[in-house]
Amino acid sequence: MSSRPRRRHGAGREAKRAARRKMPTSTAAYIDRKIPYYELLGDEALELIEHNAETVLEEIGIEFKDFPRALKLFHDAGADIKGERVRFPRGLCRSIIQASAPAEFTQHARNPKCNVVIGGKRTVLVPAYGPPFIRSLDEGRRYATIEDFRNFVKLTYMSPGLHHSGGTVCEPVDVPVNKRHFDMVYSHIKYSDKPFMGSVTAPERAQDTVDMAKIVFGDDFVEQNTVITSLINANSPMTFDATMLGAATVYAEHNQATMISPFLIAGAMSPVTVAGTVTQILAEALAGMAYVQLVKPGVPVIFGTFAAAVSMQTGAPTFGTPEPSLVMYAAAALARRLGVPFRSGGGLCGSKLPDAQAAYESANTLVTSALAGVNFMLHTAGWLEGGLVMGYEKFIMDADQASMLAVFLAGVDLSENGQAMDALREVGPGSHFLGAKHTLANFETAFYRSPLADSNSFEQWQEEGSLDAAQRANKLWKSTLAAYEAPPLDPAIDEALLAFMDRRKAEFADREY
């Protein structure tokens, strides 16, 4: 971390500056939806899928690879174990989950104003996760660095539409794999005060994340509250591996949340049909969440879903097409019936560029996510090229859409002011509302104002350089980063985090992994 010393010494001054100004996080910490879910399927169809998922669990079973603890826990709970294959009596996983998993929970942020509630009618919007590359108009596509990572943490911090700092907002490939998680977790804590995700690439990295959180929040607070939410992907089809199970176990033992996410390119890792894919998602999520509840009953767990569709021509994943939307609506309803929070969606796309393909696909997925009732919307901003690339311009575009989702989910104001009968009476036929009292009284709050979209006249747009959306987004991410000021962080905590990282990094300086 080349910039650490400067940051370290400047922390006090930065903290004071940040405390003086209006924080970008002063908007709502999360969305409390006021509009109904879109219910694609009726009870009968959902019951059929639930029945089929139980059949998968009972007859086919789920493999828990290289992880005897899961086999032991499931055996004791009444499952049938053959090798690493676990077959579950009908309803076993569901009853384990429903006995203890919370319907919603608070993930605490180091700034309590940024605490998010996950579950129920809440929507928490989170940047993209995992891309090893970045793309910008200036540099094109290249491997991501820790500087990019910090930039996206800062951009997320500055985005009122995003509620959560995320996790691996990009892979900082310039940092060794076995030390990377320290710098990522530290960046989330240092450069933002929104909640964040933890490392899942090894159990000890999960433990490091917990330990760093304890430095920030205190030991007791962490053991009694949730301050980390982490992504546990299934190794679909119908398999969980030791790495993910190990990380999930560490988090569960420390009362930290995990989202158990079947990760499917339908047609490759699941059947080519919507109903078959949803069946598999439910079976995998039930098994994974049941494991977490067996480790620590009552720990927060999220029903995750990531589903794209395979291109039957190329074998590549496709996004924003109808089938994944249908899958998401069905899976969200199944999570509600189970009574647990739901993670899915975001601004998913297969496009290489922040172009029209990226936008159609992302918008299709974002709208679906909002209407389906996704509680934790990972990949809301920045995602390009099937998740291989984090785009600077794409991030700005998606963050704008994220802000729109909050307005949409707030629904229709039916107050007297919202009904606007006075305005209709004042203006009447043949006139216009631009100067009406009601219009002026509502001027500041009326209608979403995009910082990115151009609604000027053609002539004005030409005068300003005939820029497309990506070119305008390029200016916007640069001006946003230029305006960034770090949120205050207690210098003692900062120093303790850095000391912890120095010590831990030194412990395996001679290890390659």
Task: Restricting to residues 219-258, name those near its own copies by CB under 8 A.
Answer: 235, 237-239
The smaller minimum CB distance to its own copies, of residues 422 and 485, is found at: 422
Nearest distance from C-beta of residue 334 to its own copies, angstroms: 12
Nearest to 205 by CA among 252, 261, 250: 250
Nearest CB to its own copies, comparing residues 128 and 185: 128
CB of 501 to its own copies, least distance (A): 34
CB of 325 to its own copies, least distance (A): 6
Shortest gap between Cβ of 206 and its own copies (angstroms)?
Answer: 24
Min dist CB 228 to its own copies, Å, is: 29
Q: Which two tokens stand for residue 223?
A: 């053991």
Contact set for its own copies, span 300-319 (CB under 8 A): 309-318
Helix (H) or strand (E) holding 279: helix 274-295
Give the residues across from 306 on adjacent strands: 263
| Region 40-59 residues binding its own copies, contact defined as CB under 8 A | 40-41, 45, 48, 52, 55-56, 59
Nearer to its own copies, 354 or 487 (CB): 354
Regarding 71 and contact with its own copies (CB under 8 A), the answer is no
State which of positions 414-443 bind its own copies (CB under 8 A). 414, 417-421, 423-425, 427-434, 436, 438-439, 442-443
Q: How far apart are CA 9 and CA 48, in angstroms?
A: 61
Q: What type of residue sits at position 423?
A: A
Interatomic CA distance for residues 151 and 337, integer angstroms: 39
Q: Enumerate residues 338-397 that contact its own copies by CB under 8 A.
A: 350-364, 367-368, 371, 385-386, 388, 397
SS3 letters for 319-344? CCCHHHHHHHHHHHHHHHHHCCCEEC
Contact residue for its own copies among 279, 293, 380, 474 (CB under 8 A): 279
Burial group, residue 139, by CB count within 10 angstroms (0-12, 13-18, 19+): exposed
461 phi and psi, to 5 degrees? -60, -40
Q: Which of 61, 203, 262, 345 binds its own copies (CB under 8 A)?
A: 61
Residue 452 binds to its own copies (criterion: CB under 8 A): yes
Q: 115 or 318, CB closer to its own copies?
A: 318
Secondary structure letter of residue 196 according to DSSP: B
Nearer to its own copies, 18 or 363 (CB): 363
73-132: contacts with its own copies (CB under 8 A): 85
DSSP code of residue 226: B
* Cα gap 322→306, rounded to integer Å: 14
**Could you tell me which of 380, 312, 381 has the C-alpha nearest to residue 345?**
380
Q: Is 328 left (phi over 0), alpha (psi -120 to 50) or beta?
A: alpha
Return the number of the residue (272 or 483) whose C-beta is nearest its own copies: 272
Q: Which of 4, 14, 58, 60 binds its own copies (CB under 8 A)?
A: 60
| Distance of closest approach, residue 505 Cβ to its own copies, in angstroms | 33
SS3 473: helix
| Ramachandran quadrant class, 186 (left: phi over 0; alpha: psi -120 to 50; beta: rest) | alpha
Is residue 2 within the footprint of its own copies (CB under 8 A)?
no
What is the spatial distance between Cα 489 and Cα 508, in angstroms, rounded to a whole number? 28
Residues 7-46 that bind its own copies (CB under 8 A): 35-36, 38-41, 45
Is the distance from CB of 202 to CB of 186 less than 8 angstroms?
no
For residue 321, state whether it binds its own copies (rule: CB under 8 A). yes
Minimum Å gap between C-beta 113 and its own copies is 24
Instruction: For residues 149 and 12, give the distance between their C-alpha atoms in angstroms, rounded to a whole number.
Output: 23
Nearer to its own copies, 459 or 510 (CB): 459
The distance of closest approach from Cβ of residue 464 to its own copies in the complex, given in angstroms and rounded to an integer, is 11
Stretch that binds its own copies, among 60-68, 73-81, 105-113, 493-501 (CB under 8 A): 60-68
How many CA atoms lie less than 13 Å away from 508 in the CB half-sphere?
14
Q: Which residue has the tokens 């998922």?
A: 53
Place of tokens 């009694």: 224
From first CA to last CA, the distance across the chain in angstroms is 19
Q: Does 137 bind its own copies (CB under 8 A)?
A: no
Contact range with its own copies by CB under 8 A, out of 166-174, 219-227, 399-407, 500-508: 399-407
Least spacing, CB of residue 132 vs its own copies, in Å: 12
Give the distance between the most distant pair of CA atoms in the chain.
80
How many residues at the interface with its own copies, by CB under 8 A?
124
User: Which of 141, 296 has the CB closer to its own copies?
Assistant: 141
